[in-house]
Amino acid sequence: MKLHTTSYGEAGPRVAFCHGLFGQGRNWTGVAKAVADDHRVTLLDLPDHGRSAWSESFSYKAMAAEVASTLREIGGSDPWAVVGHSMGGKVAMILALSEPDLVSRLCVVDIAPVDYGGLTSFDGYVEAMAALDLPATTTRAQADRAMRDAVPDDVVRAFLLQNLRRDHDGWRWQMNLDLLARSLPKLGGWPRLPSDARYDGPVVWVAGADSAYITPDYRPAMEALFPRVRLVTVKNAGHWVHSQQPATFTAILRDFLR
């Protein structure tokens, strides 16, 4: 599978960014440009998202393998700093655990290597997108109005609607909505790994202070797999830390990449 990528920067160590569920590589554009003065940055559209190809089933291990293949295609044997948020954070962790020589350091944003028991908080988003009458939709503004009751948060609704694309047949969802909807339990889960799985490189674990995705109960699981992990909690931020506090997050990342 060929993953769609966008690049910034012409010199320096390589950095790859992995987005979260229903996202795209371009969600990281602001942060990417902020570090591209001295890094070569690649934004990835993960499988079944953005402009990347669709698959027939969901698997974190398969996603990580596709990312590894893409990074090697771009950089050969170069090591990469890998940044991942939420779903992309799980992909990044599995990539580091399975391909440690490829990952020089790891930044995991507001997610833990645990089974969250499904992503029920996303059910409403899936239902809202599935309920949108695409053949009757003529403008993006119309789609926005149609989803407003189901998704009242303007920021979240705009985030979801960035996946709406228009071609000669009308409007369509760019991501593989049917597959992702069926896969919410797997998306919330964590795959079985070898008992000796471990990544010994440096890891910064960035949590939103107002998010429930990282709790003290999850710290043992993280430290068992990533013994060099350092937890940083960002005030006035929920799950989308890098979007809600971009300056703070960028400062944390720049310091970590030095």
Active-site annotation, residues: 86, 178, 239
Residues 6+ apart with CB under 8 A from 72: 102
Q: Check if the beta carbon of residue 236 is closer than 8 Å to that of residue 244.
A: yes
Rounded Cα–Cα distance for residues 103 and 202 (Å): 10
Nearest of 2, 22, 156 to residue 85 by alpha carbon: 22
Rounded Cα–Cα distance for residues 2 and 22 (Å): 18
201's tokens: 């490189």
Rounded Cα–Cα distance for residues 94 and 107 (Å): 12
Nearest of 239, 111, 122, 113 to residue 180 by alpha carbon: 122
